[in-house]
Chain A
Amino acid sequence: AQSVTQLGSHVSVSEGALVLLRCNYSSSVPPYLFWYVQYPNQGLQLLLKYTSAATLVKGINGFEAEFKKSETSFHLTKPSAHMSDAAEYFCAVSDQGAGNMLTFGGGTRLMVKP
């Protein structure tokens, strides 16, 4: 069984500051890992995904995430926060096998202060 833990349900940063959203997963088999973003009153959009190629994955809007197998982590970062980054972010995991059922974390709401 898979599980995803996102540390911090709310994260607040100043505009221009580093964004770090934490995600740890558990999986008995090699995982696929995803970050999705949800802007207010919208559905989820894919930010980036890890599929066992490069461990550092670059996504849209300047975000990136690094897969660290030894730490079972897939933290999301952005060097400089923008007001438009305010949203809820979800980490998700699936097995590298048939079905690709996603298990989501509890979400982290990012607030950006001017």
Chain B
Amino acid sequence: DVKVTQSSRYLVKRTGEKVFLECVQDMDHENMFWYRQDPGLGLRLIYFSYDVKMKEKGDIPEGYSVSREKKERFSLILESASTNQTSMYLCASTGQGKGANVLTFGAGSRLTVL
């Protein structure tokens, strides 16, 4: 069964700490995405990547950065966590083909910043 695995399900961090959220997929997908999920706002795209070492800003990139050193791994980095970054973070991936590519999601990482 294909999978997107997010290493941390629950994290509690303090304001100003550096936070790494890791995501690994085993489907050889080219495209990987980081979303933030907040009640009433749905999913908002933070960053995405179409290839190794490639990244593009999504709709809400401020306060975040990403790293994609290997095809299967896409990391989200909060350089200095703030309380307004308390949220559920979802990683997803999809292949490169034309057509309605379906996203495969990880289970999510719930981050609380105190």
- Report which A residues bind B (CB closer than 8 A): 4, 6, 9, 32, 34, 36, 41-46, 49, 51, 90, 94, 96, 98, 100-102, 104-107
Contact = CB atoms under 8 A, between A and B. Distances in A.
B107 A106 contact: no
Nearest to B58: A101
Interface of B: 4, 35, 39-45, 48, 90, 92, 94, 98-103, 105-108
A44 B105 contact: yes
Nearest to A109: B39
Contacts, number: 56
Given A106-B40, A106-B42, A45 B94 contact: no
Contact of B90 (A43, A46, A51): A43
B41 A106 contact: yes
Contacts of B35: 104
A104 B105 contact: no
B81 to A, nearest CB: 22
Contacts of A94: 100
B16 to A, nearest CB: 29
Give the 8 A-B residue pairs with the shortest CB-CB distance, closest first. A43-B105, A32-B100, A104-B42, A104-B43, A106-B42, A44-B105, A51-B100, A43-B107
